[in-house]
Chain A
Amino acid sequence: MLEFELNVNGERRAVRAEARKLLSDVLREDCRLTGTHVGCEHGVCGACTVLVDGRPSRACLIYAVQMQDHEITTIEAVAKGGKLSRLQRALHEAHGLQCGFCTAGIVMTFEAYLKENPRPSEAEVREVLSGNLCRCTGYHNIVAAILRAIDAHA
């Protein structure tokens, strides 16, 4: 058992866990932030994507103990003071989610990507989105929502 501190959504969190405990599990169980979902633990589905120092990362491929000295951002921190981000609002308006299980991973991926590339083409959106699996929507409305979020900014 190790004892260490994490910085999650701007808050310091004391954690007591084995070295092997995955960041996805520590966030969900020890930090009680269940918005990050686990879909595969292979690093493929993208449901567990969080931001590490602002960069999208698969939480299932990181041991929590590796994250001391880093800033982790999860879905719970995206809407500020109850106000949805542009992207979240666009997903709502464009019906870009159904069961919701893959949604957090997509939001985190694109909150980061749109900062880096504020005006992607549809092809670029589909390419970046290809790292997140969705079984409900067929992606059509997710793509439409992201393009809508860009337009809203312009």
Chain B
Amino acid sequence: MKPAPFRYHRPQSLDEALALLAGLGADAKLIAGGQSLGPMMNMRLAQPAELIDLNALPGLDGIRDHPDSLEIGALACHHTVASSPVVRKCCPLLAEAAQTIGHYAIRSRGTLGGSLAHADPAAQLPLVAATLGAEIAVVGPRGERRIAAGEFFVSLMTTALEPDEILVSARFPKTAPGERHAYAQFSRRRGDFALVAVAATLSSRALRLGIGGAEDKPVLLTDTVAGGGPDPAALARKAREAVHPVEDPRVPAVYRRELVEVLTRRALQKCLSSN
């Protein structure tokens, strides 16, 4: 299947990219890694008349180490995020989840910005962003905005990005001392999109539990941790009750809820047993 014709643009600066986007309007689509857009265009499910290639924009693929957070550029590919020593050390949940995205070759091209903007409800990076409370930076004609993950993911494959804005980076809080984490997903095969995924961070005082794939965007549960420590089974039941999956003949809602409960319980048990 070959894509429909388009005009190709390769801006050399963010300003140039923004000007193009504003000028071309609804006829234009941005491309970064192309791992999601490419198949859709090959199948002619997407037929933008104008394609704006972001890959030449300088300075958007780095990882900046701030005291309490890591700021990762939108063009950083998943392989970079997963294998970066500073991400592994300071934001291990992010590295671990990124490692499970697709396959080796997909991770070499797919980008953080692309995944966040695409907002697939089962995807790893939106889930981790929601779980960690990341902040997403976007730039547009009206300037730069920083949007908390909880507000960034609006609904199915829909974000708070305006049509004339470009996602430039995301800032992830660093893991606190003694904080534990777990990521688990359930998919048919290695590398497939998850039916359900959970991401959790557990500190001595607080639990943050993100659930992906169960609704049209990640669901976040937060809880304070009782004196005796978290009770994985009880929390898992709570997680199950908190999600309201759409009925799907192939994946009944009751099954998705069961998976949420099982994955949550197992992820929390793993959290507790890790040091």
At the interface with chain B, which of A77-85, A86-94, A125-133?
A125-133
Name the interface size band of chain A. Answer: 20 to 34
Is B250 interfacial (CB-CB < 8 Å)? Answer: no
Q: Are A49 and B6 closer than 8 Å at their CB atoms? A: no
Known: A56-B108, A130-B189, A130-B190. A61 touches B6 (CB 8 A): no
- For B, the interface residue count at a CB cutoff of 8 angstroms equals 30
Is A60 interfacial (CB-CB < 8 Å)? Answer: yes
B residues 56-82 near A (Cβ < 8 Å) are: 79
At the interface with chain A, which of B34-42, B154-162, B206-214?
B34-42
Is B205 interfacial (CB-CB < 8 Å)? Answer: no
CA distance A65 to B10 in the complex (A): 10
Is B3 interfacial (CB-CB < 8 Å)? Answer: yes
Q: Are B105 and A56 closer than 8 Å at their CB atoms? A: yes
Is A74 interfacial (CB-CB < 8 Å)? Answer: no
Is A118 interfacial (CB-CB < 8 Å)? Answer: no
Q: Are B102 and A131 closer than 8 Å at their CB atoms? A: yes
At the interface with chain B, which of A5-13, A39-47, A136-144, A145-153?
A39-47
CA distance A71 to B1 in the complex (A): 26
Contact with B along A52-80 (1 / 0, CB 8 A): 10011110111101100000000000000
Known: A20-B2, A127-B190. A2 touches B8 (CB 8 A): yes
Is B229 interfacial (CB-CB < 8 Å)? Answer: no
How many residue pairs at the A-B interface have CB separations less than 8 Å?
84
Q: Are B7 and A62 closer than 8 Å at their CB atoms? A: no
Q: Are B55 and A109 closer than 8 Å at their CB atoms? A: no
Is B106 interfacial (CB-CB < 8 Å)? Answer: yes
Is A19 interfacial (CB-CB < 8 Å)? Answer: yes
When distances are taken between beta carbons in the complex, the residues of chain B under 8 Å from A62 are 34, 38, 109
When distances are taken between beta carbons in the complex, the residues of chain B under 8 Å from A18 are 5
Contact with A along B23-51 (1 / 0, CB 8 A): 00000000000110011001100000001
Q: Are B103 and A130 closer than 8 Å at their CB atoms? A: yes
Q: Are B42 and A42 closer than 8 Å at their CB atoms? A: yes
Is A101 interfacial (CB-CB < 8 Å)? Answer: no
When distances are taken between beta carbons in the complex, the residues of chain A under 8 Å from B55 are 66
When distances are taken between beta carbons in the complex, the residues of chain B under 8 Å from A56 are 104-105, 108
Q: Which of A19, A52, A112 contacts B51 (CB 8 A)?
A: A19
B89 → A minimal CB distance (Å): 19
When distances are taken between beta carbons in the complex, the residues of chain A under 8 Å from B38 are 43, 58, 60-62
For the complex of A and B, 8 pairs with smallest distance between CB atoms: A131-B103, A61-B38, A19-B8, A55-B108, A56-B105, A41-B42, A20-B3, A42-B39
